[in-house]
Amino acid sequence: MVESYWHKGRSKQRVVASLGRKDLLEPHLDSLVRIVRGEERPKTIEPDAVQPKRAYCWGPMLAARKLWEELGLESILDACEKKHRGKDKARLSDRALVLVANRLCEPGSEHALADWLETDFACDRQGHRFEPEWKQQGRVRVDLGWLQRWYRTLDELISHKATVERELFLRLRTLFSLEVEMVFYDITSTFFEGKGPTEIAKYGYSRDGKPQNRQVLVGMVMVDGWPIAHHVFSGNVRDHKTVVDVLKDLEERFGLKRVVFVGDRGMITTDNVEEINKRGQGYLMGLRRRRSEDVYQYIERATGEWIECPRPKDGPKTWVQEVESGKPGVRVFVARSEEREAYERGMRERSMERTRQALEKLAKRVKTGRIKASDKIGEAAGRILSNNHGHRYYGWELFKGEFRFFEHPVHLKRERALEGKYLIQTEEKQFTQVEAVQTYKQLTDVERGFREIKDVIDLRPVYHRSKQRVEAHIFVAALAFLIDRAIEKKLKSADIPLSASRALEVLKTIHVVDIDVLGKPKRGTTAGTPQAQQVLSALGIAHTDPAKLFGAHKPLPSDNRPCSVQ
């Protein structure tokens, strides 16, 4: 305790008493102050005087807002927004964050957004909570006018996509020192329920196993594990046809003049290689194993010494060796994966067994005379061999009315040679054999990204009927994936063995709680589980109380006006 006093016209202080350690006394500070001031002890609050009102899930939205600001998305969208809105109108950044957080936490249609807003505390930067508006209109429970305002948010957001991606890339490059030497690119598809917009909704090769549904293609560009851009193509476009557009965008919008373009099988064609070389870019791409006679020849040339690639402790082994390509300047690497070899051998053996059993049944039918015509026998054999890739393993003949089948002397030998192997082509001189494999393996980050953007963030199916809304839907999912990547990178940096999706589940134990104390509204937050506290620490979040996050003055539940979505 310190007393202030005057001495020779100056204010001085002296210690009156020492009460003990600060860390032990701090919880009792209010009581000590009342004693010193001579105030009466406040009356005990009766249990009935405290009435809980509502509790909202807060942790996932808290994490999303933290990273939204840290990645610069709030400032980028504020700069993009042309018209300044009034104090009661939410800015584009706040509205977009709600859509992205919803896609990240509870993915669903925009109709499902209203249900999520009933349970989660989603607010603007002033702390005003976004609330759903309900109005039964036929089979739809949500107010259609309110829903249309969210659709307009999608329209406004997609109009800034090019600028947002470019500015975001520049910020990521500064914040995380991105080494923009290699650009990783892969493509996937997502399907429509219904016809979809005629401009881009087309039938094509479906990676979702939905060939009967129209689809669009989505190509994603990643650098150092960060998604920096994505492209939407018509559903019937071939993968390799998208490469030139991506290269042009990297040059024109991002200013990347010399990078190594890393792509998966199907991206490499003669035209693409020529275009990449013409633009002064480099490439490292996988080769299709069964689409080119050269591939089998490369594998046969792999008679030299296999070099083992570095691997995690007890991880599967991978070996590599460079072989002669026969083309000036072109380098080809044959990689052999222990894990992949075991998987593909097991798949082949199962397929061979199913095909063998079917061929044995056909042989018995022919022997017993149930099927006699040679053309009918040929049709039946063709159907059997078309299933389970049987033509890769077996051949057959009809000799003096007897049906015989046998292991194919050419095709089966080739299949066994291909098992566990993949091939990489490049014209870059600086890559060692091991570096080529390690670089190509990084494409798994892009592939994993697609699995998460589709499965975790629920990109599919798409219900929108206009091209702009479809592109906006995918843009929101891509931004949610960016937040997901940021969470995972921070968890990894903090050595916390959780995935981003699991971390978000853990954060759901943190709630905003509204209560009445002696008739006065109060707001507080729950601490969450110890694991949730670990996640908050990894994300750099010190406070969970909205009042501390958004400033000193925060509207309490009684005057907490819902945010206007305009």
Q: What is the pLDDT of residues 320-372, one digit of tens each?
A: 999 999 999 999 999 999 999 999 999 999 999 999 999 999 999 999 999 98
Question: Percent of the chain beyond pLDDT 70?
Answer: 88
- Please check the confidence at residue 462 and state whether its pLDDT lies above 80: no
When the pLDDT of each residue in the chain is averaged and rounded to a whole number, the result is: 86
- What top-level class would CATH report for the domain 179-223+226-286? alpha beta
- 515: confidence class by pLDDT, cuts 50, 70, 90: confident
- Please check the confidence at residue 92 and state whether its pLDDT lies above 90: yes
**Could you tell me which residues are beta bridge partners of residue 120?**
57
Map 26-69 to HEC letters: HHHHHHHHHHHHCCCCCCCCCHHHEEEEEEEECHHHHHHHHHHH
pLDDT (0 to 100) of residue 558: 36
- 120: confidence class by pLDDT, cuts 50, 70, 90: very high
CA distances from 286 to 264, 333, 464 (A): 5, 10, 35
- Please check the confidence at residue 88 and state whether its pLDDT lies above 50: no
Distance CA 345, CA 338 (A): 11
For residues 362 and 451, is the Cβ–Cβ distance under 8 A? no
State mean pLDDT over 197-203.
92
For residues 285 and 263, is the Cβ–Cβ distance under 8 A? yes
- Provide the whole-model pTM: 0.80
Amino acid, single-letter form, for residue 508:
K
Question: Percent of the chain beyond pLDDT 90?
Answer: 54
- Domain ranges across the chain: 2-42, 179-223+226-286, 290-427
Kindly report the number of other CB atoms within 10 A of residue 541's CB atom. Answer: 19
**CA neighbor of 107 nearest in space, from 551, 479, 392, 519:** 479
- Please check the confidence at residue 83 and state whether its pLDDT lies above 70: no
- Please check the confidence at residue 45 and state whether its pLDDT lies above 70: no
- Please check the confidence at residue 499 and state whether its pLDDT lies above 60: yes
pLDDT (0 to 100) of residue 553: 37
State mean pLDDT over 177-181.
84
Which stretch of DSSP H or E encloses residue 318? strand 318-323
- Please check the confidence at residue 407 and state whether its pLDDT lies above 80: yes
pLDDT (0 to 100) of residue 556: 37
